[in-house]
A and B are shown apart, each in its own frame.
Chain A
Amino acid sequence: MKIDFQHNVAAHCENGVTSNLLKFYGINLSEPMIFGIGSGYFFSHMPFIKLNGMAVTSFRVWPGMIFKRVTRRLGIRVKRKKFRNQENAMRELDKMLDKGIPVGMLVGVYQLPYFPREYRFHFNAHNITVFGKEGDRYVVSDPVMENVETLSYDELKKVRFAKGTYPPSGRMYYIAEIPAEVNVKSAIIKGIRKTAKDMLTIPVPMFGIDGIRFLARRMRKWPAKLGEKSAALNLAQVIRMLEEIGTGGAGFRFIYAAFLQECAEVLQKPWLNELSREMTGIGDQWREFAILAARCFKNRDKGQTSYDQLADMLMNIAQREEKVFLQLQTIDL
C-alpha cells in the first residue's frame, strides 16, 4: 500500500517535510517560503545543552517549530502525537497510513541505515515522511535523499525511539484539515515579524543577535580555557552546525535571502530586494568565517590570534544581521 505522494529534495529536512506534506494537500510553497513563514531563521549558543559533549550552537529554531508555525499561520489544522510505548507508536502510524494520510515524524539519524556513515552522529532532530507500507517495509520520503527510501519495521521503530540529546519519543504529525483558502501574504508578515522579534529582543544573551556576540566572547577564551585541542573541536562543531547537511549553505542565511527575494515580488515591496542582497552578503561572510575557522582547527598554528580574528568576524556579522532585522521588524502589509 502506497499513498500517491510526491518526494522532493530540500536543503533542510523540516522544510522539506512541511513543503511535501502541503503539496500533497494542494498548497504549493517553495522551500524558502516555508522556512520564512515558519520563522526558521534563528541563532542560539547554549553552553548547558551538550551534543557530543560540547555546547550546542544552532542557526535555526527548535525542531518541529517550522511545521507548527507554517500550519498555524496558514490556518491548517494538524495533529501531533508522542508515545511512551513503541508498539503503540507503530500501530498509530499503520492506522494513519491505512486511512491514506502521509505522516511526518521525528527520528534520530544515528541508526538510519540509508544515511551516509559520515553524517551518523547521535543527532535526534531529523524529519522524514512515511507514506506507505509494502510488506514489512515502510516507504520513506527523506528530503535530504534524492530518492525514496524504505525502512523495515524494526529499523523505523529504532530511529523513532533513538536516545540521547532531545530524544524523538516517536513524535509524529500529520495534517488534519485544510481551510478553503489560505492567506499567504499575512502569513509572510507574521513570519518575518516573529523572526525579527526573536533575533532582536529575547532578553537572554544566548539567543538571537546577542547570541552571536555571546559566542564571539566565549570563542576568544576557548584556547586559554579549554586548551588547543578542545578549542579546535569546539570550533569544528560550530562549523558543522553552520554547514552540515540541511542548511542550504551558511547556516540558512542563503535560504533566507532567497525568501526575502521571493517576498519582494509577492508583497510588491522592492526594498526587500535590498535586504535580500545584504543577507546574501552576510551569508558570504559566514562562509569566510567557516574557511578561516577550518584553517584554524586544521593547522592550529597561530593559536590565540586566529580565535581573536574569528571572534571579530562574528561581532561584525552580528552588527550586520542586527541592521537587517531592525528594518524587517517594521514590515507591514
Chain B
Amino acid sequence: MKIDEVPQDEAYMIKGKIRDVCYALDKDGHYTSTLSMGWKPKNEAIGLAWEEVYHRVEEVRQQVQAGRLSPLAFYMELNIMNPSILASYTGIHRWKVRRHLKMKYFLNLKQEVLEKYAGALNITAAELVDTKRIQTVVLKHED
C-alpha cells in the first residue's frame, strides 16, 4: 500500500474521534506510519455486527412486552452479553441466570440479586425492573 492509497473513509460512529496508525510506502518506497480515518470494508463489517446486535435486542424487546422474557434478558442482549458472561460478572450460577431471563422467575427476585445484575449492566436496580424504560431505549448509534 502506498501512502496516498491509505483510506480516509470516515466511519459513521466515530466521526474522526479516533484514527488508526497505518503502515504505507512513501514515494521513495520506504515504509512510514501514517494515520487513517477508517476504511469502508472495515466500517461495513463493524456496521453489520452492530446491526445484528440491534436486531437481536429488538426481538428480545418484543418478547419482554409479551411477558415471556424479563427486562434482564433485554439488557443482557443490549450489553452484547450471554448468560455465561453475565454469570461471571455477577457470580450467580449460569443456570440461575438463564432462569432469571424468564419473566416468571424474574418477578420473584430479591433486591440484592437485582442490585448485582444492575451493577454488571451499568444501570440501577430501579431501572432494571422498570419495564417502561425498555421502550425508551433507542437502538441506534448516537451521531
Query: Which positions in A face B, CB cutoff 8 Å?
Result: 9-11, 31-32, 52-53, 110-111, 116-119, 121-122, 144-146, 163-164, 167, 232-233, 236-237, 239-240, 243-246, 248-250, 254-255, 257-258, 261-262, 276, 280, 283-284, 287, 290-291, 293-294, 297-298
Contact = CB atoms under 8 A, between A and B. Distances in A.
B70 to A, nearest CB: 21
A239 B41 contact: yes
Interface string B49-86: 11010000000000000000000000000011110010
B104 interface: no
B24 A254 contact: yes
B89 interface: yes
A110 B36 CA distance: 23
B46 A118 contact: yes
Nearest to B42: A243
Interface of B: 1, 6, 11, 13-14, 17-25, 30-31, 33, 36, 39-42, 44-46, 48-50, 52, 79-82, 85, 88-89, 122, 141-142
Contacts of A243: 39, 41-42, 45
A280 B1 contact: yes
Contact of B85 (A163, A257, A283, A290): A163
Contact of A233 (B1, B30, B49, B85): B49
A114 B9 CA distance: 22
A122 B85 contact: yes
A232 B31 contact: no
B39 to A, nearest CB: 6
Interface of B is mostly: mixed
Nearest to A290: B41
Contact of A240 (B14, B49, B81, B141): B49
Given A233-B48, A240-B49, A284 B13 contact: no
Contacts of A240: 42, 45-46, 49
Contact of A53 (B25, B31, B40, B82): B82
B41 to A, nearest CB: 3
A11 B22 contact: yes
B80 A257 contact: no
Contacts of A118: 11, 13-14, 46, 50, 141
B49 A121 contact: yes
Contacts of B21: 9-11, 31, 248
A245 B89 CA distance: 26
Given A118-B141, A145-B18, A283-B1, 9 more contacts: A11-B23, A11-B33, A119-B18, A163-B89, A244-B46, A249-B22, A257-B31, A262-B31, A294-B44
Given A118-B13, A122-B85, A294-B41, A31 B141 contact: no
B30 A261 contact: yes
A32 B31 contact: yes
A249 B45 contact: no
A128 to B, nearest CB: 15
Contacts of B23: 11, 32, 248-249, 254-255, 257-258
Contacts of B49: 52, 121, 233, 236-237, 240
A229 B52 CA distance: 10
A250 B45 CA distance: 14
A243 B48 CA distance: 14
B25 A280 contact: yes
A116 B45 contact: no
Nearest to A254: B23
A164 B80 CA distance: 11
A53 B84 CA distance: 12
Contacts of A293: 41, 45
Nearest 4 Cβ contacts at the A-B interface: A294-B41, A258-B31, A118-B13, A243-B42
B48 A250 contact: no
A277 to B, nearest CB: 8
A298 B44 contact: yes
A11 B14 CA distance: 17
Contacts of A9: 21
Contacts of A31: 21, 33
A290 B20 CA distance: 17
Given A32-B31, A118-B14, A254-B1, A294 B24 contact: no
Contacts of A283: 1
A248 B1 CA distance: 11
B1 A284 contact: yes
